[in-house]
Amino acid sequence: MKLLESVKIGSQLLKNSMAMAPMTRSRANFNGVVGESTVLYYTQRASAGLIISEAINISKQASGSPLTPGIYNQEQIDAWKKVTHAVHEKGGVIYAQLWHTGRVGHSLVKNGEQPVAPSAIAINGQQHFTMEGMKDYETPRALSTEEVEGIVQDYKQAAINAMDAGFDGVELHAAFGYLPNQFLADSANQRTDKYGNSNENRNRFVLEVMQEIVSAIGVEKAAIRLSPTSTYNNIIHNNPIEQFTLLLNELNKMPLAYVHIMNVPFPADKFPQYPKDSVETFGNLSKHTVIANCGYSRESGEAELEKGIAKLVSYGTLFLANPDLPKRFELNSELNQPDRATMYGGQDKGYIDYPFLNN
């Protein structure tokens, strides 16, 4: 079974071709510090070939949702050291996903601070979770050119902090409508400076961040997550094939560990410019190891690897509910079902109490 075969990313030989996808769980404290339950949560899932952490805020400004972790001060770094050490003790490999939410936040979560974005364009038709309940999105403040350049450096420092915390590498979260994805998208980026107004310019922020991360932490330790066909958080690309071809051609020049592609389903009739299969369309363009993501089962994941484009498949909800997912796939055993009510926030219930086989 290909899913259970070892595979290399960078200099790391992984025990299987199954990655645990990054999943926000909102179990940090109000200072963005993870605790002992988070150590156990990741350690329980160390049988994954690769663990990609939940999204981690690169700065105080980056935070948009309550109880999400950071990696921008020493207390946060020290807390993550306990996680990475425990995962390594179990023979696991773990990457940190670096996060800036941009406009996907709310001032109620940011001590009254207005969310920032490439342009002053609000998300419509969705609401954001705050400790005071669901709220309509606010219009974000457009970042100045100098501020954008400063955020590039924040990503670089966060990557350095992640390596200090013991992570094996970092993944830039440039998907699902967060800040890097906002820069990429015509619908969120109407800038007229060097970061907007053409596909090359809209790609610039992501490429600068990746270049800085690579320069800071070294060869084949930096990775990126992309969602070329996701429309979540009001993201629309007018010409995704042209834009992401340009982006991947530039990423191909960098010594990356992998490219993580979300294959998001969508109604094709509404977006005729979107390819039907992002992993196939864009994975074929990447010279790097490709990780395929979004809604895969045991069978469809195996079929994806059989195609030969992706070398790993990442699983989110299935790993959430099945800490021993590789063993369950190996035995083709019954899977635990996720409790959606406890996915975000709360205590240990729905976090570290999912049963293992024979437990």
What is residue 87's predicted lDDT score, i.e. its pLDDT?
98
What is residue 266's predicted lDDT score, i.e. its pLDDT?
65
Q: Which amino acid is at 250?
A: E
Instruction: Confirm whether 347 is domain-assigned.
Output: no
Angle CA 180–300–231, to nearest 5 = 30
What is residue 72's predicted lDDT score, i.e. its pLDDT?
98
Instruction: Confirm whether 359 is domain-assigned.
Output: no
Active site residues: 178
pLDDT confidence band for 228 (50 / 70 / 90): very high
Instruction: Confirm whether 163 is domain-assigned.
Output: yes
pLDDT at 353 over 70: yes
On whether the CB atoms of residues 72 and 57 are closer than 8 A, the answer is yes
What is residue 271's predicted lDDT score, i.e. its pLDDT?
86
pLDDT in tens, 240-260: 999 999 999 999 999 999 999
Instruction: Confirm whether 43 is domain-assigned.
Output: yes
The CATH number given to whatever domain includes residue 185 is 3.20.20.70
Least confident interval from 44-53, 143-152, 263-272? 263-272
Say how far apart CA 286 and CA 282 lie, in whole Å: 7
What is residue 46's predicted lDDT score, i.e. its pLDDT?
98
Averaged pLDDT score across all residues of the chain: 96
Instruction: Confirm whether 352 is domain-assigned.
Output: no
Q: Which two tokens stand for residue 250?
A: 């530039």
What is residue 265's predicted lDDT score, i.e. its pLDDT?
67
pLDDT at 322 over 70: yes
What is residue 134's predicted lDDT score, i.e. its pLDDT?
92
pLDDT at 359 over 80: no
Instruction: Confirm whether 212 is domain-assigned.
Output: yes
267: buried, middle or exposed (CB in 10 Å: 19+, 13-18, 0-12)?
Answer: exposed
Q: Which two tokens stand for residue 30?
A: 């109000």
Higher-scoring residue by pLDDT: 294, 46: 46
- In total, how many domains does the chain have? 1
What is residue 272's predicted lDDT score, i.e. its pLDDT?
86
What is residue 75's predicted lDDT score, i.e. its pLDDT?
98
- 67 lies in which domain range? 2-342
What is residue 95's predicted lDDT score, i.e. its pLDDT?
98
Contacts of residue 261, Cβ cutoff 8 Å, sequence gap at least 6:
225, 226, 227, 228, 278, 279, 282, 283, 290, 291, 292, 293, 310
Instruction: Confirm whether 38 is domain-assigned.
Output: yes
Mean pLDDT of 163-183: 98
pLDDT in tens, 264-287: 766 656 888 899 899 999 999 999
Mean pLDDT of 281-294: 97
pLDDT in tens, 67-115: 999 999 999 999 999 999 999 999 999 999 999 999 999 999 999 999 9
Mean pLDDT of 181-207: 97
* φ, ψ at 70 (rounded to 5°): -125, 175
E-strand spans in 91-177?
94-99, 116-117, 127-130, 133-136, 141-142, 169-174
Mean pLDDT of 282-304: 97
Instruction: Confirm whether 358 is domain-assigned.
Output: no
